[in-house]
Amino acid sequence: MSPSTAIEGAPSPKLSDAVGAFLADLGHANRSPATLRAYRGDLASFSQHFAGELGEITPQALRSHFATLVHLAPATRARREASLASFLRWAYRNDLIDADPMSKLDRVHLEPPEPRGLAKEQVEAILGAIPRGRSRDRLLFRLLAETGLRVGEALALHVDDIALAPDDERLHVLGKGGRRRTLLLDDPRLVAQIKRHLKETSYRHGPLFRAEKNGVGGPLRYSTVQEHWATYCAKAGVTATIHQLRHGHATELINGGVSLPTIRKRLGHRNLQTTLRYAEQADATADAELGAWRRSREAGS
């Protein structure tokens, strides 16, 4: 019996039971640990504010909860709303509530982020600020810069996901929504770093990037990566987020003449519109492309 089936038909399901079943279904759907943590935290926050049962959640109860979040950044408020909306849609689909109260509310509107990739010089400055003895961090941030991987995708990599056949080095990546893709490792420096890291650590199986605290060697946490990134950025005198490495890689590819469908596949985007927000073409690249089109047109006339 599935978690959701176990509570179907109950006249007034407990909110805690429904949340537990919802999270279990997300786990069955192979959602990432980071996603599950975010949903769990957001729904726990709502449960602390709302003392009723699942069927007693009304639009007014939601408005009352969201009113307590006005001090938060718009992106954070939007995420909290999205978590509740996803949960309530799930409850409605599973016949646990008669209507979805979230559908009656206007949601926080966020403007699409502008492209903001890091310049190559800035990336190298940050990477150069990492001590030579920190081979794990040197590899992790070089990997993000040269492949455009999401941080969560990089941290989910296992040694068995790496294929190092000569001239055909690749990564097998588990992306958002449980979608898998294969990523070409086309930078010789990066390949050499991976081989050196594996040799130094003697890793044969398990996570590629591991925590070093107390020598335990468990999976490396996202929060730890953020702390180290902030340290290296400060040392290099660069203000940047880790995600800008992904923007920068996309921009570098489009300015190198790589097609948008290929960039979409490399970044693991579901649709091309998302890729368009990441890839910012330089004026010089656009001018060169238009000049080539003009010469080709005149030669054919």
Catalytic-role residue among 170, 181, 243, 277: 243
Catalytic residue among 89, 172, 176, 181: 176
Pairing assessment for the beta strands 168-174 and 162-165 based on DSSP bridges: antiparallel
Residue of 39, 65, 136, 278 with catalytic role: 278
DSSP 8-class letter at 2: -
Report the half-sphere exposure of 30 (CA within 13 A, side-chain side).
8
In the set 79, 138, 142, 150, the catalytic residue is 150
Annotation marks residue 269 as catalytic = yes
Query: Does the active-site annotation cover 176?
Result: yes
CA distances from 222 to 209, 212, 228 (A): 11, 14, 10
Q: How many residues are present in the chain?
A: 301
Assess whether 150 carries a catalytic annotation: yes
In the set 79, 80, 136, 246, the catalytic residue is 246
CA 181 – CA 114 distance, rounded (Å): 26
Reply yes or no on whether 278 is catalytic: yes
3-state secondary structure of 200: helix
| 247 belongs to the catalytic site | no
The catalytic site residues sit at 150, 176, 243, 246, 269, 278
